Each structure stands twice: as C-alpha cells, then as structure tokens.
Structure 1
Amino acid sequence: MIQDKATSQTSYERFLHRVVDSKQVWGLQHPDGGWAICSSNQYEDTSVYVFWSDEAYARRVAIGDWGMYVPTQIDLASFIDNWLKGINNDGHLVGLNWDVNLCGSELEAIEVAQALIRS
C-alpha cells in the first residue's frame, strides 16, 4: 500500500514542526540494541531507517515483526549530528512519521538534516 503524496508531505511537515519544538525524535529499538529499519518501497537494495516525532506514533507501529521493539527517544542534536550523518554516509534513507502500514516518504538523510537546521 502506498500513501498518497499529499499525506506523506503532511506527515513529513508534522515531523519537522514537532521535533523542532520538542527537541526529540523517536525510533523503535529492539532489546538487543538494533533499530527498526526496512527495505525501501522505491529503491532496490536500499534500507530505510524510520523515525517519528511522537512516542505514540512510534508505539502504534511496534506490532507484528516489530512487536518486540520499544519506542526510544533520541535527542535532536544527536539525531542531526550523529544519526543523519551516519545514515547519509552509509547510503540509506529515512522515513519520517510513517503510518501503521509503513507508508510515507523516503528521504535522503542530508535533506532532513538541512530542513531541521533551517527550522
């Protein structure tokens, strides 16, 4: 299932506004320390790291294969300086505020970092 472009854009903008206000990002972390990632819906052989602006958004996706994962807070400065730089350097993408069907925009990490810094 693919989310329409307008809904994906709204989710992305919501992510930016809420993260800038709260200074925190949420990911899903497995008890063994790994983080929730999935295959890209758009690009072959590309992984997408998924993040949310709110704990509740992350929690609603912690089902099925991700049922053991726990919403975990990441400081915004660390997210920009460490996470996004590393994801970009490794050639992966980020998915922000994806819905329960794991649908949403797949973005280059450097674009997200620039948008957060501008906000």
Structure 2
Amino acid sequence: MKYDIIFIGSGHAAWHGAQELARAGKRVALIEQEKVSGTCTNFGCNAKILLDGPAELLHHLHNYHGIGMNDAVNIVWPELMAYKHQVIDPMDEAMAQILAVDGIDIIFGHASFVDAHTI
C-alpha cells in the first residue's frame, strides 16, 4: 500500500498529525505495536491521573489525622484498578474508530525502515 505519510506509533502527536493530514486529503497510516492512542493514554498519563487522585486525597486526609480525621478512609486498590480499566481500556478502540472515520489506516506491528521510501 502506498501512503503520503506514515506515523510510527499512535500517541497524541501522531494521531493529531494524522487527522490533520487526512482531512487535508493525504493518504495516512499509523503503525502501532500495541494499543491505539499510545503509552500516555493507555498506560501513562491518563491512567496515572485516575490513580493519583485518590492517593493524593488520602495523603491530604492523613495530614489531618488526630486533628479531626481518623484512619477510616482507605484506598481499595482492586476497586480503583477496576475503575481505571473501565475508563482507560475502551480508549484505544474508541480512537481507532475515530481515526477510521478520517480514513486513516492502522497497521498493527513493528515498523522498520527498508530504504528512504519504504517502511
């Protein structure tokens, strides 16, 4: 298949660029080794935000232990992780559908350069 541009990886920068180029009439593909949307969405930033909020709140509550707060509040990690999966896991499929609407091909696999014009 021939493309005007191929992005290796599908993180934020790639899918933003891919969408703009596809909307401008370019034939675009993303090559992704794991999950569409990249590390930040699926494993890093977004997941960290979901997990960090309750931990940060618990830290602040512990600062008031003995002056109006007790140790009654705890993080139930299995429930918090289930919530994280409920929010994060559908994101790669949702992004794949959004990219498909723009006509962007997603190729799952590992990319390497063969020559100046072939990936």
What TM-score results when the alignment is normalised by the length of structure 1? 0.32
Q: Larger C-alpha radius of gyration, 1 or 2?
A: 2
What TM-score results when the alignment is normalised by the length of structure 2? 0.32
Higher fraction of helix: 2
